[in-house]
Chain A
Amino acid sequence: MTGLAFAAPLALLGLLALPVIYWLLRVTPPAPRKLHFPPVRLLRQLAPQERTPARTPWPLLLLRLAIAALISLALAGPTWNPSAVTPSAGPMLLAIDDGWAGAPDWDKRVAVAERFLMEANRDGTPAALMLVSQGAIAPQLTEAPKAADELRAARPKPWLAERGAAATQIKAFVADHREARLVWISDGLEQGEAKAFAKELNEATRGGASLEIFSSRRPTLALKGVVNDARGLEVSVLKAGAALNGQVEALDEKGRVIMTTPFAFEGSSDKTSAKFDLPVELRNDASLLRIVGENSAGAVGLLDARARVRRVAIVSGSGESQPLLSADHYLAKALAPFAQVLNPPPAESDPILAALADRPNVLVLADVNIAPGEAFEAAANFVEQGGLLLRFAGPRLANANDELTPVRLRRNGRVLGGAMSWETPKRLAEFEPASPFFGLPAPSEVTITRQMLAEPDPGLSAQTWAQLADGTPLVTFERRGKGLIVLFHVSADTTWSNLPISGVFVEMLKRLCALSGEDATGVGGDGSGNQAMLPPLRTLDGFGALGAPAPTAKAIGADFHGGASSEHPPGFYGSPGSAVALQTVADDDILQALDFATLGLTPHPFDLVGGARDLRPILLGLVFLGLVIDWLVLMRLSGRLRLAAALAVAFVAVAASQPPQARAEPQKAATAQRERDAALKTRLAYVIAGDARIDETSRLGLEALSRTLDQRTSFSPGEPMGVDVARDELAFFPMLYWPINAAAPQPDAKTVARVAAYMRQGGTVVFDTRDALTAHANAAPTPETLWLREMAKGLDLPALEVAPRDHVITKTFYLLDGFVGRYANGDTWVEALPPEPPGGAARPVRATDNVSAVVIASNDLAAAWAQDISGQPLYPLTPGGGRQREMALRGGVNLVMYTLTGNYKSDQVHVRDLLQRLGQ
């Protein structure tokens, strides 16, 4: 679709005039310079009059012809990359796919749409904005600026919208407005009935409407099928488009990256997988997977409590005589696909104690009777603390059962269908809805020949998760403390039933394992028979950031298996301890790029926005340039160039050489003066961030802090100073306050080296990213954070941690819990303290030997400090209040005191007072 077209091709006829212009120019030389000169008489007596340049010199001729040709071309209104269709003059309908697939380049989409709306505004045509996700709403024609406001308020949704409703609306719209100009900013995915939608658009063009389609060239990537099992943490990566490789990162609940792993697509495959090789404990910390650099909900995979790999310890009562027939073997095989089975403990010690020493999530006791004593206490404690005790019946348990069973058991159990029984082996009954097994098939081939019977106490049915066809319990449970005891009334080997060798056994164990570690109020049925509804806890937005759920989000049932939608946005549902993840991309979803070509459509990429680029400004610019050159040449020819050249040279000289040369001397003097000032009085300093507003805030904030320090402490700082880290000497300042301005260019390597040297020499830099309000733990980092990260690469930073409550920085003047500023929710990071010595006496305060060279805050400290001349605060605080402002100032006092006094307050001398004041 690249090419050249002309709005007024007839103007090109002007090119025919070029020969005439050529001839005219040839015979019309440039006018000579005229001047009075008294000794002309003498000149006249000289040689004959010289008349050499009677003709225009050829370079000038060429230049003038070029100018004439350019004018002619410009008049013809050339356009680069014209649209295939001439846009209709009718009202504009702007359809935007606002699913998550459009999120990574949402800004570009908005920019494209805005340009169209501006065009409509220029032409005075009304426009309607239709977000495909809101296809049910009929598009309203409004003035373009209003539509633009609407557009700017729109955000991508964390699901892929079905386009059916939108197609219907478009049909109706085109029926009303024959000359409609349709613009579809597509996400390029076939999902969501894109073909039908495109067909509908095509239909509309036949009716007289014009259609322009824009689609990103960027491939769409998505994560699905997060599997965290015994083999590892694995996730499938889907692509639509021409992606090759990338990286997936795993983040924990606080948004810290645990690990980044690469993935690559092979050949034309649209699916690949990324695997994290991590120890189970670390893997279980992961709560979110994300494709690096792909800020969309689809590129996020969520890990809920169910996705944790459970550590399972098996203690079996049966001997080692026939290992392949033992309960151990069946259990290990059944658990292996999704849980980590711990090695059997060595035989000499008590097996239960040994198993618990490995800190399992699930303790499986296959036909083991727990003798009262240490082992019993340990097991009971394990359950109280939230462990899942899974027991299987067996001959030993049948003979002497203990207290750790969900129900009271009868001795000996019963035999079904044996030689001594009239009855046939029993089958499984269908699982009740209240049971965690609900939804599993109850296969008919599973037969139970022996079982242990429960005493028919009242409430037995409420404690039953699975029962036989005759209503006798097969699996019973009881909650104790935070934990759960589950008893299979059959043995874990095949002597009592063939359940352990059926597929449903694996599924049952899987679901049981998932229950471990959840708190007692969670899933699993509380016997009331009501399906528990899980309210949305934290949901993803279209960009893939976790946040508070939208008010429209509805609770899901525990067995919810649909995909994400407007009612159920992806995210975590349930209560914080036992949240259930609803993935953006369901396991059976696929991604497929929409093949526009087969639909007879040609999408434009975003960078050729507007479909066309008007070349007129460029041509006219060239014409102007040509005229200037022509003028200069004429000046030269008539001998007057000197003045012009001198002027130009003077101008350039003034513009270019003025700063370094003319200012050099006074600047040197000013620098010397400034350094003298800085050296003679200890003062606070801030780094000039390059933004007038930020710098002013820093200055006023530090002024207010200086006043506070003067009033409350024995330190009287001088006027704060703005520092240009690239030029000024930093050595005079104990502390540099550095507000991050993401719009500023990165400092060069030399500057970073200066800062690093300053930090090595004992200076403290307080970076303030000022983004606590916009930063989310799991979301993409804010521009300020990225900026700081980029710069910090050259800084050789030590390990950092969120300032712990016993860090000396919280004790240097005031006793503080944290450092609040304009916001109160951001963390403050300092150099990590060495771990507390084990067995050492608990001390209320800890410190390193040095002052932390770097403090990273995100609460916009200076804005909270800043006051105007009359002492009135300049900025409102979030959440607000005089107390917060006071605490911000106190935090500032502590920071300054920390940089000045170091670990003084951690000295043992102060411990008594500190303990007293802390009320311990």
Chain B
Amino acid sequence: MAGSDIETHWFDPLTRRGQASPDAEAANMATKLPRLIAKAHEIAGSVAHGVHGRRRAGVGEDFWQYRPFATGESAHKVDWRRSARGDQLFVREREWQGAQNYFVWMDGSPSMAFKSSLGGDYKIDRAAVIGLAVAEVLVQGGERVGALGLTPAFSARNIVERLAEALAGQSPTDRALDIPPEAALPSRARLLLISDFLCDIAALSARLQEFTNAGGRGAMLMVLDPAEESFPFMGETLFLDTDGGASFHAGDAASLRSAFARRLDQHEGALREAAKRAGFLFLRHHTDRPAAEAALAMLMGLGEGMEAR
């Protein structure tokens, strides 16, 4: 038995007021943000080693290779400095560096401000760390990143700080949304959606479809606390909804475990289905796993799965 001495912590991210002192500290954005940023930098640093250039010719700035001039090409492509050393004409190719527009969305709804004693972090913090780290890595890779619905995609050295500022300045109503907000996307935008996705699947599916229609694609990362997965509760328990819904009274929580697991599987299956239909990559992450793992998985997924399309 995983143990029923599970403690759960929750604070209201909208009012930023926790019910107990540890929660209060977690809810305090001012103290939390620098830590999150530092962590994001750290993870980005470790993840960046695993990400490389595109390794093909393109419109980047870095030298890629010289190739013989093919007849019919426009003459200004000839690299005269190289060609002057011999009789043959050479064209200087640069590495392909098609800068893309990435948009990150981290769910800030009340259900994310949850942590159990099984997990390491509040889900909201974990989501922020992963999102910011991925943004950093992407910017280092030459992409442009923005916050979905908040900022346009841009490329800057201090991308993490700027995104964090934008997130901190987000209005509570926006933050309370548990599905990605409606946003005007540039064409071929990439979306990184990080949330627990404990939301209405129909609404989410519709929103994803909208993004697809606008040419967007991307990845969904489902961040869950281990307690939400394993349901380690026992005894008579009153489960309070974090989103303000009706609470649930369980006579013996332990007896619900298998039913809940089935229900969660079902929910996840529906999410996967929606993601697949909209052309999104679906990933899962538990807060008891390292954040770098999720960040790397997301970057690799973006690199491979999405390029394949």
Given contacts A38-B196, A49-B248, contact A638 B236 (CB under 8 A): yes
Binds A, one of B25-33, B158-166, B168-176, B259-267: B259-267
A838 to chain B, nearest CB (A): 88
Verify B239–A43 contact, CB threshold 8 A: yes
Q: Which of B123-167 contact A (CB under 8 A)?
A: none
Verify B260–A42 contact, CB threshold 8 A: yes
A750 CB–B CB distance under 8 Å: no
Given contacts A51-B249, A639-B4, contact A32 B256 (CB under 8 A): no
Kindly state the separation between the CA atoms of A218 and B114 in the bound complex, as whole angstroms. 75
Verify A38–B111 contact, CB threshold 8 A: yes
Binds A, one of B64-72, B227-235, B279-287, B290-298: B227-235
Closest partner residue, chain A, to B263 (CB atom): A42
A646 CB–B CB distance under 8 Å: yes
Residue with the highest number of chain A CB atoms closer than 10 Å, among B5, B255, B256? B5
Verify B228–A639 contact, CB threshold 8 A: no
Task: Please indicate the chain A residues that have their CB under 8 angstroms from the CB of B235 in the complex.
Answer: 32-33, 636-640
B226 to chain A, nearest CB (A): 12
Verify A50–B249 contact, CB threshold 8 A: yes
Verify A40–B242 contact, CB threshold 8 A: yes
B207 to chain A, nearest CB (A): 18
Task: Please indicate the chain B residues that have their CB under 8 angstroms from the CB of A52 in the complex.
Answer: 251-252
Verify B238–A41 contact, CB threshold 8 A: no
A217 CB–B CB distance under 8 Å: no
B106 to chain A, nearest CB (A): 16
Count chain A residues whose beta carbon lies closer than 8 angstroms to a beta carbon of B. Answer: 31
A254 CB–B CB distance under 8 Å: no
Residue A44 contacts which of B114, B246, B252 (CB distance < 8 angstroms)?
Answer: B246
Verify A53–B251 contact, CB threshold 8 A: yes
A196 to chain B, nearest CB (A): 75
A1 to chain B, nearest CB (A): 52
Task: Please indicate the chain A residues that have their CB under 8 angstroms from the CB of B225 in the complex.
Answer: 38
Residue B238 contacts which of A32, A44, A640, A643 (CB distance < 8 angstroms)?
Answer: A32
Q: Which of A8-63 contact B (CB under 8 A)?
A: 29-30, 32-47, 49-53
Verify A49–B250 contact, CB threshold 8 A: yes
B211 CB–A CB distance under 8 Å: no
Task: Please indicate the chain B residues that have their CB under 8 angstroms from the CB of A47 in the complex.
Answer: 256, 259
Closest partner residue, chain B, to A642 (CB atom): B5
B105 CB–A CB distance under 8 Å: no
Task: Please indicate the chain B residues that have their CB under 8 angstroms from the CB of A45 in the complex.
Answer: 263
B183 CB–A CB distance under 8 Å: no
Verify B240–A37 contact, CB threshold 8 A: yes
Residue with the highest number of chain A CB atoms closer than 10 Å, among B255, B263, B267? B263
Verify B239–A35 contact, CB threshold 8 A: yes
B187 CB–A CB distance under 8 Å: no
Q: Which of A494-533 contact B (CB under 8 A)?
A: none
Verify A639–B198 contact, CB threshold 8 A: no
Verify A36–B236 contact, CB threshold 8 A: no
Verify A37–B242 contact, CB threshold 8 A: yes
Verify A46–B263 contact, CB threshold 8 A: yes
- Mask, B1-44, CB within 8 Å of A = 1, is 00111001110000000000000000000000000000000000
Residue A50 contacts which of B10, B233, B256, B264 (CB distance < 8 angstroms)?
Answer: B256
Given contacts A43-B256, A53-B251, A639-B253, contact A32 B264 (CB under 8 A): no
Verify A41–B245 contact, CB threshold 8 A: yes
Verify A35–B236 contact, CB threshold 8 A: no
Task: Please indicate the chain A residues that have their CB under 8 angstroms from the CB of B253 in the complex.
Answer: 639
Kindly state the separation between the CA atoms of A636 and B243 in the bound complex, as whole angstroms. 29
Verify B240–A35 contact, CB threshold 8 A: yes
Task: Please indicate the chain B residues that have their CB under 8 angstroms from the CB of A49 in the complex.
Answer: 248-250
B241 CB–A CB distance under 8 Å: yes
Given contacts A39-B264, A43-B239, A47-B259, contact A32 B8 (CB under 8 A): no
B247 CB–A CB distance under 8 Å: yes
Closest partner residue, chain B, to A45 (CB atom): B263
Task: Please indicate the chain B residues that have their CB under 8 angstroms from the CB of A50 in the complex.
Answer: 249-252, 255-256
Listed in ascending order, the chain B residues whose CB lies under 8 Å from chain A are: 3-5, 8-10, 111-112, 114, 196, 198, 225, 227-228, 233-243, 245-256, 259-260, 263-264, 267
* 25 pairs, CB–CB < 8 Å, chain A vs chain B: A33-B235, A34-B240, A35-B237, A35-B240, A36-B8, A36-B114, A38-B112, A39-B198, A40-B239, A41-B245, A42-B263, A43-B256, A43-B263, A44-B245, A44-B248, A50-B249, A50-B250, A51-B249, A51-B251, A53-B251, A636-B235, A639-B235, A639-B236, A640-B4, A642-B4
In the A-B complex, list the 4 residue pairs whose CB atoms are closest, starting with the nearest.
A639-B235, A52-B251, A50-B251, A639-B234
